[in-house]
Copies of this chain bind each other. A is one copy, B any other.
Amino acid sequence: MNERMNRIDLNCDLGESFGPWRMGDDDALLAVVSSANIACGFHAGDPDIMRRTVARAIAHDVAVGAHVSLPDLQGFGRREMKVTPEEIHAMTLYQIGALHAFAGAAGIRLAHVKPHGALYNMAARDRALADAIAGAVHAFDPRLRLFGLAGSALIDAGKTLGLLVAAEAFADRRYLGDGSLQPRSEPSAVLDDADQATAQAIGIARDGTVQAANGQAVTLHADTLCLHGDGAHAVALARQLRAALEVVGLRIAAPDAA
């Protein structure tokens, strides 16, 4: 274990309520994670919820990032849209700025930006869209860290611009032999067993390896693990993961935490 591997970030999507509708147990998750990706009103969230969620994240000493999305409340940002890099650039700036307003008014700086849902997937494989997002992040504040799928076009785009990045991995998603995620359309794509997910998290965070679907150990560098906030057992799994990571000697901290 090299020095880098002494710590890992745990991030979670938060502030995904909208108007009168609630989603997720934000307070419980804020007690577990080190980075919060807060919805900016395009797939979820509204000004009131953004303000409250930023305040709650600060109360839990969790780093705040903008969870930018395609504009699709009904589809929760999960439906891909054919948008141009120029449109992506502008909508990313808009959303970062909107969340920044609540962060700044509350006395903190935004720490990171992470695309959501369909935009996350599009930016993982389409370099032009990835460049548009990275460019918007850099134009807003070059100190912002860009979160993206480990090994993706988005991470490459961020590095090319000189941004700090955080390569993201998943405790409960199965990896293939080339280090990519098994598509969700395949039945075994999600690790439903909490102990298996915990073991995978430790492997990634401590050892930098993951056991792929074909049984091989694959090298996988990750700076942050994504915890899911929805689902019946989300909070329980999140707590188990954090405890297990701490037991093996890892410190849970946002990438830019002291």
Contact = CB atoms under 8 A, between A and B. Distances in A.
Interface string A74-90: 11100111110011011
A51 B91 CA distance: 10
Interface residues of A, number: 47
22 contacts: A18-B18, A18-B21, A18-B74, A19-B73, A20-B23, A21-B21, A21-B22, A46-B90, A47-B87, A47-B90, A47-B94, A48-B87, A79-B81, A79-B83, A81-B82, A95-B98, A96-B101, A97-B100, A97-B102, A104-B140, A105-B136, A105-B139
A101 to B, nearest CB: 3
Counted per complex, copies of this chain come to 4
A32 to B, nearest CB: 22
Contacts of A87: 47-48
Given A20-B76, A76-B19, A100-B101, A91 B47 contact: yes
A105 B82 contact: no
B101 A93 contact: yes
A105 B18 CA distance: 28
A252 interface: no
A65 interface: no
Interface of A: 17-23, 41, 44, 46-48, 50-51, 71-76, 79-83, 86-87, 89-91, 93-102, 104-105, 118, 136, 139-141
Contacts of A76: 19-20
A111 to B, nearest CB: 16
Contacts of A80: 81-82
Most B C-beta atoms less than 10 A away, residue of A17, A48, A118:
A48
Contact of A93 (B22, B47, B90, B139): B47
Contacts of A97: 97-102, 104
A80 B94 CA distance: 22
Contacts of A21: 17-18, 21-23
